[in-house]
A and B are shown apart, each in its own frame.
Chain A
Amino acid sequence: MKIANNFKWKLRPIQPQPKLLNYDFALDFTDYIRNAAIIQGKKWKLTNKSLAKGEVFLTKVEVCRLLEEEVRRYIEQKLQVKVKSLSPSITNRINRLKQLFYEKRGKTSWEEIPSEVIIVAYPPCIKRLHETISSGHHISHIGRFTLTTFLINIGMSTENVVDLFRSLADFNERMTRYQVEHLAGLKGSRIKYIPPKCDTLRTHGVCPGLDDICRRVRHPLAYYRKKLRTLKTEAPVASGA
């Protein structure tokens, strides 16, 4: 309780009542989601909790786990010390290391993802988006974002991505090209975007349901990599047909 108070949690112990038999505490929902949102597992989802009048009912063990998360964030925040300036010799070394890191990282990702696009390795969500758009049907904004960023990240050229959208009734070449290039990090903020993770796709109704590989990954790109590996072991000489 003391620690919780330190973090200004709105937490109160509750007396056992017939309806709240197994709970020890009631915690304000904002304090709850701030800490529980990143803990994995269905039982931590707010949807699966008892929530009434803004309070989530919890056991002692659960409250302790949430406090751990709060403390972890607190420490991490403390560690984020802003360094004002470093001597040029150190900055140079950092830059050199950064460069090396990016070079190496670039290499590994190239090794993992083949240059050609393997459609059979698409996760179900991408497969559905791809089919929908190819038949000229409308897909939601977030659907377009997911499909585009996925394809860019598995190495499809911006040209080919733009072509995919060509069959839409409201296709505008200039606009589409700009947006695809923007997401590829070639325009504007120069950030190469990646698709949202599975959890987010579920929230926005993009996830059509899970298959076996889905159950073992949390991100559509991870699905693609995993599926490619299984394809490789199944058919070692498979070429990108």
Chain B
Amino acid sequence: MIKIETKAFIQAKFGEYYEKNAISIQPPSSMEKREFGFLLLKERIMLRHKSFKTTEELRDSLKRLVPSNVYYSSAYYERPEEKMEEKGWLGADLTFDIDADHIPTPCAKTHDTWTCTSCKTTGDGTPPEKCPTCNEQKFEKKAWTCEVCLESAKEETMKLIDILTKDFGLSTKEMSLGFSGHRGYHLHVESKEIATLDSISRKEIVDYIVGIGLEPKLHGLRSMSGPNLDDFGWKGRIARGTYKYLLNASPEQLEKIGLPKGAIQSLSEHKERILESWKIKGPWAMVKGVSIESWDKIVEQAVEKQAAKIDTVVTTDIHRLIRLTNTLHGKTGLKKTKTPIATIEEFDPLKSAVAFPHGTATILVSEAPKFRVGNDFHGPYRNEKVELPMAAALFLLCKGAAKIMEEDSDVR
């Protein structure tokens, strides 16, 4: 057993990982046309504009540099090693990022903590408008990701795949999906037709997926008629979303979105009949007292639920760097893991992404909520010394929530 520094410990473990697993790292297609970037653990600087001709070169670099994060460009370039302006952009994969941080989740992020920067008061969840103790408005946040967060991200990913296949006609064969190793999923589409689309065209794809600029009127919503459940594209999504919304909405929720009393009463009283009416032509014509404005408000809610909450910046960026599969995430010590699209529902990210399945380490945890890495739950901890399986220990160390005490040398 040896006393070691946390940073050096992480570096050594990451080094071990790449030494052993570099062989499992596959380069992206057309590797020689891509830019690679490495965030260096020790120096904390980004090495960019790298390119590789062979898989071996790439793997050797990983072993030698031991980066905390490894990225490659979604773009293809004539000269990937040049400065941005001189690279010669040839095209780019269509990429999507779904991050639990960007979506409201049912757990309400109760596992996150905040600290007031001036009086050091702390609390759980998202920080308040003002510090309850000193009224200041500046906070330091510590974000965690729980299973509920990751489940929400998965649901959004499934919605995205549904839109891409049904509406955009893309095949899942052209897609590759991966768990990022932290808070969400990355989806890549490699297709010749799409590769040369510019940022403006990609923005149209984003707006479609998020439902931005959607006009219910242009999808046939009138005061007496509207789209049907089995329509394709946004028409059907509007109808299905509205059906689901009406099925679950309470009178209070309807009031919250600004419906007048009459409309709420009418919708609540005839709920059964309305839901039944979808079998014929939908409720659009039959509910008295629900004006076109009210329908617009309901449809707005429906659209919000039907849209997939992607990170809009990532998809419109045609020079984006993306994490390479089977490399480590510097903030968690988990690896980016390929996720099979057909069986995504059964996919367990926190189990599949474990990169250090063996050994244990003793660490001093400053603060951590209850969390899971692999099969087992750990925590919550506060200022305690604990012995944890290596993957869980590294998770806390990478998160900056713990210090290394000792590594059990006998199980290496």
Contact = CB atoms under 8 A, between A and B. Distances in A.
Interface string B191-208: 001100100110111111
Nearest to A207: B212
Q: Which of B140, B166, B197, B233 has the most CB of A within 10 A?
A: B233
A118 interface: no
Interface in A45-95: 45-55
Contact of A169 (B140, B213, B312): B140
Contacts of A43: 215, 218
B193 A30 contact: yes
Contacts of A202: 212-213
Given A30-B197, A47-B234, A52-B167, A203 B211 contact: no
B137 A54 contact: no
Contact of B215 (A48, A167, A169): A48
A37 B211 CA distance: 15
Contacts of A230: none
A189 interface: yes
B210 interface: yes
B170 A54 contact: yes
A206 B137 CA distance: 21
A204 interface: yes
Nearest to A43: B218
B100 to A, nearest CB: 16
Contact of A48 (B138, B141, B169, B214): B214
B219 A48 contact: yes
Nearest to B115: A169
Interface stretch (A108-116, A121-129, A136-144, A232-240): A136-144
Nearest to A48: B218
Interface string B285-320: 000000000000000000000000000110010000
B231 interface: yes
Nearest to B227: A50
B347 interface: no
A142 B181 CA distance: 24
B85 interface: yes
Nearest to B163: A51
A214 interface: no
A202 B203 CA distance: 11
A135 interface: yes
Q: How large is the interface on B (under 10, 10 to 19, 20 to 34, 35 or more residues)?
A: 35 or more
A48 B233 CA distance: 9
B193 A46 contact: no
A34 B117 CA distance: 48
Given A19-B231, A52-B167, A37 B194 contact: no
B139 interface: yes
Contact of A135 (B137, B167, B208): B137
Interface string A211-230: 00000000000000000000
A204 B313 contact: yes
Contact of B193 (A28, A51, A142, A167): A28
A114 to B, nearest CB: 31
B235 interface: yes
A200 interface: yes
B313 A47 contact: no
A33 interface: yes
A51 B233 CA distance: 5
Contacts of A137: 137
Contacts of B215: 42-43, 48
A53 B166 contact: yes
Contacts of A50: 232-235
A107 B231 CA distance: 56
A203 B210 contact: yes
B231 to A, nearest CB: 7
A89 to B, nearest CB: 30
Contacts of B213: 42, 45, 47-48, 202
Given A45-B214, A47-B211, 5 more contacts: A33-B204, A37-B201, A43-B215, A49-B233, A51-B168
17 contacts: A19-B232, A33-B204, A34-B201, A43-B215, A45-B208, A47-B234, A53-B232, A54-B169, A54-B170, A55-B169, A136-B136, A169-B141, A202-B213, A203-B207, A203-B312, A204-B312, A205-B312
Interface of A: 19, 28-30, 33-34, 36-38, 42-43, 45-55, 135-138, 140-142, 167-169, 189, 199-200, 202-205
In order of increasing CB-CB distance, the 6 nearest A-B pairs are A54-B169, A52-B232, A53-B169, A136-B138, A48-B218, A33-B201
